[in-house]
Chain A
């Protein structure tokens, strides 16, 4: 499952970053495998969405969020 598919207020863990032009920038922003992310806001047109990561709120476009693979809470 990719990050853009999660619902509002759902909390997930990043598993993998697909090869994507934005990958490095996402890594810089703290989107790193093992980190917990939560979707906290959806803009009026459903894109971009804002995610809570590392205590900060970061807005990403869905096309960029598609490169972040996630799973539900650690088993």
Chain B
């Protein structure tokens, strides 16, 4: 059988790992941020009597810098034994990929160019002339979409048929003479003499020594001090890339319409108010739209409760187990689902729509100044927006921030954005205690107050970011470069489908996972007694003094703690305790909810303290797991609990004593 060794080269975030996984079925996690692949993975696949061995190199922007990933990748290409190098490019920013392809062709004689994300480019109206590009590059070019599994067999054919050629000879202008001079003194057929000469001119000691050891570089060359070799190299590579890409790519220019919209969205007076208006409208739609489907789902699931119970009894399971499964697990599960799903199904599509439209980068652009004052990155504004949908999504989204320091700030402060799971309870409490029931414009005022709380969250985010970057995460803000793509009308159905599939269902799946153990725990606490006193009562009594100090009571505190797996179940647990039942309590009717809370001593102060601690206590278990995964550090995971808790508790104490 024919064997071909293939090495995958590519800039970060172009889907190199997706292609690698598609071929090798080796499920390396594909991440959407720079530098996911750190080591070199190896995998094999067989197709039509040929065995392909793939090596996945770390993502690199170029092969001429000195960062760790670039050195690993360059060393591999120069010194390792393989047959074909596949340069994976992003069709939506081909410039970067061709930069890398040109540099690869300087050190590798057999190169295939794979242009990934071709579906994404088509969506944006970008066209690529493949024939012309092949002619200019002198390499095979394959258009693929790893996500949609398009063009992957073409890529294998291209790899199979690709032949070795001469190294690409770049015109380096003023450096040409020196390169020729040095090349003459080099003794090799295996490596590109001109490239080695360039490394000598750059005075790259690591390569000079390696080639000395190989007996290729035999003497020391005089350094040219007066010339910035690196700049010359960059300029000439760019020039070459420009030549190659002339008339090859057609990118829709930043059009007049985009300019006009941008003038308004980023204007001095209207920029910030318009952004807040966007948020307000999203909240309003979520509040108004989620109500009815939520109660519909709820009554549907609860109507199934009796049949399920009958069925389990029919299986002659012990009584306590039936009760645990139905009133513990099933009830908590459908509670979380019916409360969480409708707002998510409204919020995420709207958010994805704005994202596809191109509004989100403008928000980062408008807000960056404030973040740079806090020594953070403007892209944090985007992770905050995602956090409103779900903090776990916001934490994962922080991968778009390049600097580790700024990324950690974004992760640690994400919980200050109230997530969707908190909305229903927030809305109920705000309506009861701050807006009043039966108001004509109830939903409007409620959305207004909710935006106010969000504003408080934004202020706290800035404050905590500033404190963090002055203490634990010290350092200068690295930089902020952001592409502002032209606006384009997204395919609405595609946006909806994408957000439901990739965001809503994803979040829901995780919520379901934590709701099951939480259901068991709540059932046990409510139903198990020690010496005739329920565990619940013990816990409430123990927590009561602390609760009162914070302007709350023991029950509220217990509910807030037990709500760790999912914020949706805090209020149901509260009611379960107040009404002394052994299962979560449904309270569709706000006036009944109000009566119960007031009977148990709730005042406006209690409501305010509850809202504060509900908003700022600790991330839910799903988010916490995500934080641990993203930071890879127990210390920062601990901090992500400590910081909001500290803020929430101090605010409660302040409110409690000011109201006295």
Contact = CB atoms under 8 A, between A and B. Distances in A.
Physical interaction between A and B: yes
A61 B234 contact: no
Interface stretch (B161-169, B263-271, B615-623, B639-647): B263-271
Interface in A1-50: 17, 21-22, 24-30, 32-34, 40-48, 50
B90 to A, nearest CB: 13
A33 B235 contact: yes
A60 B272 CA distance: 19
A34 B267 CA distance: 30
A60 B369 CA distance: 11
A69 interface: no
Interface residues of A, number: 33
A58 B253 contact: no
Nearest to A40: B259
B268 to A, nearest CB: 5
A21 B61 CA distance: 16
A36 to B, nearest CB: 13
A48 B483 contact: no
B580 interface: no
Nearest to A9: B259
A44 B272 contact: yes
B65 interface: yes
A40 B261 CA distance: 12
A55 B484 CA distance: 11
A57 to B, nearest CB: 4
Interface stretch (B46-54, B462-470, B474-482, B595-603): B474-482
Nearest to B370: A45
A28 B63 CA distance: 12
B65 A55 contact: no
Given A24-B65, A32-B238, A41 B266 contact: yes
Contacts of B262: 40-41, 50
A17 B228 CA distance: 11
A31 B272 CA distance: 29
A30 B480 contact: no
Given A24-B65, A47-B368, A56 B268 contact: no
B234 A25 contact: no
A42 to B, nearest CB: 7
B366 A25 contact: no
Contacts of A52: 254
Nearest to B241: A30
A61 B480 contact: yes
A44 B368 CA distance: 10
A34 B231 CA distance: 13
Nearest to A52: B254
A29 B481 contact: yes
Given A40-B254, A59-B482, A48 B369 contact: yes
Given A44-B271, A47-B368, A61-B368, A30 B95 contact: yes
A60 B483 CA distance: 9
B387 interface: no
Most buried by B among A17, A22, A44, A50: A44
A57 B368 contact: no
B480 A64 contact: yes
Given A21-B479, A61-B480, A44 B96 contact: no
A57 B483 contact: yes
A49 B585 CA distance: 53
A43 B365 contact: yes
B483 A47 contact: no
A35 to B, nearest CB: 8
Contacts of A43: 266, 271, 365-366, 368-369
Contacts of A50: 262, 266, 365, 484
B235 A55 contact: no
B266 A42 contact: yes
10 contacts: A27-B231, A28-B99, A43-B368, A44-B269, A44-B366, A45-B370, A46-B369, A50-B484, A56-B251, A60-B480
Interface of B: 61-62, 65, 95-96, 99, 231, 234-235, 238, 251, 253-254, 259, 262-263, 266-269, 271-272, 361, 365-366, 368-370, 372, 378, 478-486
Given A28-B96, A44-B267, 13 more contacts: A21-B478, A28-B62, A29-B481, A30-B95, A33-B235, A44-B271, A44-B272, A55-B251, A55-B253, A56-B483, A59-B365, A59-B481, A59-B482
